[in-house]
Structure 1
Amino acid sequence: MSEPRVFLLPDLGEGLTEAELVSWHVAVGDEIAVDQPIAEVETAKSAVEVPSPYAGIVTELHGQPGETLDVGKPLISVTPLSTGIAADDAAPAAASSAPPAAEAAAETYREEEKAGSGNVLIGYGTPGGHGVARRTRAPKAGTAVVEPAQTTEDDLTLLRTRVPGKLGAVISPLVRRMAREHGVDLGDISGSGDSGLIMRRDVEAALRTAPAEAPEAKPAETKPLETPATAALREARPANGVDARTGLAIAARTPVRGVRKAVAANMVRSRSEIPEATVWVDVDATALLELRGGFKANGTEVPGLLAFIARFVTAGLKKYPELNTRIETGEDGAQEIVSFDGINLGIAAQTDRGLVVPSVRAAEKLTARELDAEIRRLTDVARQGKATPTELGSGTFTLNNYGVFGVDGSAAIINHPEVAILGVGRIIDKPWVVNGELAVRKVTELTLTFDHRVCDGGTAAGFLRFVADAIENPTSLLADI
Structure 2
Amino acid sequence: MGNTKVFLLPDLGEGLTEADLVSWLVAVGDEISVDQPIAEVETAKSMVEVPSPYAGTVEILHGQPGETLDVGKPLISVRPAGAPAGAVAGDAAVRDAAPREAGGTSKDGTDTGGDAQGEAYREEEKAGSGNVLIGYGTPAGAGITRRTRAPRRAAFPAAPEQDSAGRVSAEERTMDDLILLRTRVPGRLGAVISPLVRRMAKNNGVDLGSLNGSGDRGLILRRDVEAAMTAPQAVVEKAPEAPTPATEPSRAPEPSTASGADVLPTPAADRAPDSVDARTGLGVSRREPVKGIRKAVAANMTRSRKEIPEATVWVDVDATALLDLRASLKAAQPESTPGLMAFLARFVTAGLKRYPELNTRIVTADDGSLELVSFDGINLGFAAQTDRGLVVPSIRRAESLTARELDGEIRRLTAVVRESKATPQELGSGTFTLNNYGVFGVDGSAAIINHPEVAILGIGRIIDKPWVVDGQLAVRKVTELTLTFDHRVCDGGTAGGFLRFVADAVENPMGLLTDL
**TM-score, normalised via structure 2 length:** 0.69
Alignment of 1:389-400 (within 5 A): 389-400=424-435
Match of 2:441 among 400, 406, 414: 406
CA shift, 1:268, in A, is 0.8
The answer for the alignment partner of 1:166 in structure 2 is 187
Q: In 1, are the aligned partners of 2:48 and 2:423 still within 8 Å (CA)?
A: no
CA shift, 1:467, in A, is 0.8
CA shift, 1:353, in A, is 2.8
For 2:343 and 2:215, locate their aligned partners in 1 and report how far apart those are by CA, in whole Å.
Answer: 43
Moved more, 392-401 or 75-84: 75-84
Residue 53 to residue 236, structure 1, CA distance change in 2 (3 Å): same
The answer for the alignment partner of 1:77 in structure 2 is 77
For 1:332 and 1:184, locate their aligned partners in 2 and report how far apart those are by CA, in whole Å.
Answer: 8
Moved more, 464-473 or 434-443: 434-443
Match of 1:302 among 326, 330, 337: 337
Alpha-carbon RMSD: 4.2
Match of 2:311 among 255, 277, 292: 277
Q: In 1, are the aligned partners of 2:481 and 2:503 still within 8 Å (CA)?
A: yes
Alignment of 1:305-316 (within 5 A): 305-316=340-351
Residue 49 of structure 2 is aligned to residue 14 of structure 1: no
CA shift, 1:78, in A, is 3.0
CA shift, 1:423, in A, is 0.1
Residue 480 to residue 353, structure 1, CA distance change in 2 (3 Å): farther
CA shift, 1:136, in A, is 9.0
Residue 274 of structure 2 is aligned to residue 244 of structure 1: no
Instruction: Give the secondary-structure state (helix, strand or coil) at the position aligned to 1:477.
Output: helix
Residue 336 to residue 464, structure 1, CA distance change in 2 (3 Å): same
Residue 370 of structure 2 is aligned to residue 352 of structure 1: no
Residue 147 of structure 2 is aligned to residue 147 of structure 1: no
Moved more, 313-322 or 62-71: 313-322
Instruction: Give the secondary-structure state (helix, strand or coil) at the position aligned to 2:326.
Output: helix
Alignment of 1:323-362 (within 5 A): 323-330=358-365, 332-362=367-397
Q: In 1, are the aligned partners of 2:13 and 2:188 still within 8 Å (CA)?
A: no
Residue 164 to residue 387, structure 1, CA distance change in 2 (3 Å): farther
Letter in 2 for 1:405: F
For 1:256 and 1:283, locate their aligned partners in 2 and report how far apart those are by CA, in whole Å.
Answer: 39
Residue 57 of structure 2 is aligned to residue 57 of structure 1: yes
Count residues in correspondence: 417
Residue 331 to residue 162, structure 1, CA distance change in 2 (3 Å): closer
For 1:120 and 1:165, locate their aligned partners in 2 and report how far apart those are by CA, in whole Å.
Answer: 8
For 2:45 and 2:34, locate their aligned partners in 1 and report how far apart those are by CA, in whole Å.
Answer: 25
Instruction: Give the secondary-structure state (helix, strand or coil) at the position aligned to 2:302.
Output: helix
For 2:224 and 2:317, locate their aligned partners in 1 and report how far apart those are by CA, in whole Å.
Answer: 60
The answer for the alignment partner of 1:424 in structure 2 is 459
For 1:350 and 1:55, locate their aligned partners in 2 and report how far apart those are by CA, in whole Å.
Answer: 38
CA shift, 1:372, in A, is 1.4
For 2:487 and 2:189, locate their aligned partners in 1 and report how far apart those are by CA, in whole Å.
Answer: 34
CA shift, 1:287, in A, is 0.5
Instruction: Give the secondary-structure state (helix, strand or coil) at the position aligned to 1:308.
Output: helix
CA shift, 1:292, in A, is 0.8
CA shift, 1:10, in A, is 1.9
Instruction: Give the secondary-structure state (helix, strand or coil) at the position aligned to 1:59.
Output: strand
For 2:76 and 2:121, locate their aligned partners in 1 and report how far apart those are by CA, in whole Å.
Answer: 23
The answer for the alignment partner of 1:293 in structure 2 is 327
Unpaired stretches in structure 2, ≥5 consecutive residues? 89-102, 104-113, 125-130, 152-160, 199-212, 230-265
Q: In 1, are the aligned partners of 2:9 and 2:75 still within 8 Å (CA)?
A: yes
CA shift, 1:376, in A, is 2.0
Letter in 1 for 2:269: A
Match of 2:410 among 375, 390, 402: 375
The answer for the alignment partner of 2:295 in structure 1 is 261
For 2:302 and 2:121, locate their aligned partners in 1 and report how far apart those are by CA, in whole Å.
Answer: 41
For 2:139 and 2:32, locate their aligned partners in 1 and report how far apart those are by CA, in whole Å.
Answer: 19
Residue 479 to residue 62, structure 1, CA distance change in 2 (3 Å): same
CA shift, 1:184, in A, is 10
Deviations along 1:364-385, whole A, 9 cap, x unmatched? 2221112212222222222223
Deviations along 1:345-373, whole A, 9 cap, x unmatched? 11122223332222222222221112212
Residue 168 to residue 255, structure 1, CA distance change in 2 (3 Å): closer
Instruction: Give the secondary-structure state (helix, strand or coil) at the position aligned to 1:462.
Output: helix
Moved more, 9-18 or 301-310: 9-18
CA shift, 1:110, in A, is 8.7
**TM-score, normalised via structure 1 length:** 0.74
Q: In 2, are the aligned partners of 1:303 and 1:369 still within 8 Å (CA)?
A: yes
Alignment of 1:208-219 (within 5 A): none
For 2:513 and 2:77, locate their aligned partners in 1 and report how far apart those are by CA, in whole Å.
Answer: 58
Moved more, 388-397 or 12-21: 388-397
Q: In 1, are the aligned partners of 2:215 and 2:366 still within 8 Å (CA)?
A: no
Residue 190 of structure 2 is aligned to residue 157 of structure 1: no
Letter in 2 for 1:241: S
Percent of residue pairs bearing the same amino acid type:
66
Instruction: Give the secondary-structure state (helix, strand or coil) at the position aligned to 1:57.
Output: strand
Q: In 2, are the aligned partners of 1:125 and 1:162 still within 8 Å (CA)?
A: no
Residue 437 to residue 31, structure 1, CA distance change in 2 (3 Å): same
For 1:335 and 1:136, locate their aligned partners in 2 and report how far apart those are by CA, in whole Å.
Answer: 39
CA shift, 1:311, in A, is 0.9
